[in-house]
Chains A and B, each alone.
Chain A
Amino acid sequence: QVQLQESGPGLVKPSQTLSLTCTVSGGSISSGDYYWSWIRQPPGKGLEWIGYIYYSGSTYYNPSLKSRVTISVDTSKNQFSLKLSSVTAADTAVYYCARVLLLSHGMDVWGQGTTVTVSS
């Protein structure tokens, strides 16, 4: 059974870069049947899609975040990562990683989420 686990700093200073990693266990990130995604949820608000990556390294980003986002994959470690630059308080959120069904775009396995606060 595939499981995803987010990790990274819980506190980031304004203007710095937020960096998170999602570790996939119980399955291979190199399976061609899935995308791997980051989604976030500000406190008390709804879900916002950040982007996808395919195991080959192809990336797809939310146009509103594209200038600040980089998603990468490390197949040797079965991990994928998120970098969000020039953060502000508006980037404070719970960040989730998820597995995405390739053809249907349904996000069928989620990590538990990690809270990132942007504050000096």
Chain B
Amino acid sequence: QSALTQPASVSGSPGQSITISCTGTSSDVGSYNLVSWYQQHPGKAPKLMIYEGSKRPSGVSNRFSGSKSGNTASLTISGLQAEDEADYYCCSYAGSSTYVVFGGGTKLTVL
């Protein structure tokens, strides 16, 4: 059982927007603005899409955005494209004894 809770799957049609939630606790997501999001295509290594909750690394499309409210972080993908179909994982810093926790992952299907 993962420390952070994500929906197992979400889906959307091309051009639509979807949001993936990531629920933690006051010991991780709620206490630190250090949530990151990763995209993973089958058989590939994860790719950093969002860090520090809402920052995008260079080269990541501005269709990807992150936010946080309380103990829940969210990843929003706007203008869905076929290439966005992948697994998405959230990750949070969790303090100086646990350090890092991942969510269980969400499979995004572009219909």
Q: Measuring CB to CB, which residues of chain A are less than 8 angstroms from any residue of chain B?
A: 39, 46-49, 52, 60-63, 96, 101, 104-108, 110-113
B29 to chain A, nearest CB (A): 13
Contacts A105-B93, A106-B36, A108-B57 hold; do A49 and B48 have CB atoms under 8 A apart? no
With A61-B99, A104-B51, A106-B57 given, can you name 18 additional A-B contacts, CB distance below 8 Å? A46-B103, A46-B105, A47-B46, A47-B89, A49-B99, A52-B99, A60-B99, A63-B98, A104-B55, A105-B100, A106-B36, A106-B48, A107-B46, A107-B48, A107-B91, A108-B57, A110-B46, A112-B45
Interface of B (DSSP majority class): strand
**Of B2, B38, B51, the contact of A101 (CB 8 Å cutoff):** B51
Q: Which residues of A contact B103 (CB under 8 A)?
A: 46
B102 CB–A CB distance under 8 Å: yes
Q: Which residues of B contact A61 (CB under 8 A)?
A: 99
A53 to B101 alpha-carbon distance, docked (Å) = 16
A21 to chain B, nearest CB (A): 17
B97 CB–A CB distance under 8 Å: yes
| Cβ A48 vs Cβ B102 within 8 A | yes
Contacts A47-B38, A48-B102, A63-B98 hold; do A110 and B45 have CB atoms under 8 A apart? yes
A101 to B55 alpha-carbon distance, docked (Å) = 13
Interchain Cβ contacts under 8 Å between A and B, 24 examples: A46-B2, A46-B104, A49-B91, A49-B99, A49-B101, A52-B99, A61-B99, A63-B98, A96-B46, A101-B51, A104-B36, A104-B51, A105-B51, A105-B93, A105-B100, A106-B36, A106-B48, A106-B52, A106-B57, A107-B91, A108-B48, A110-B45, A110-B47, A112-B45
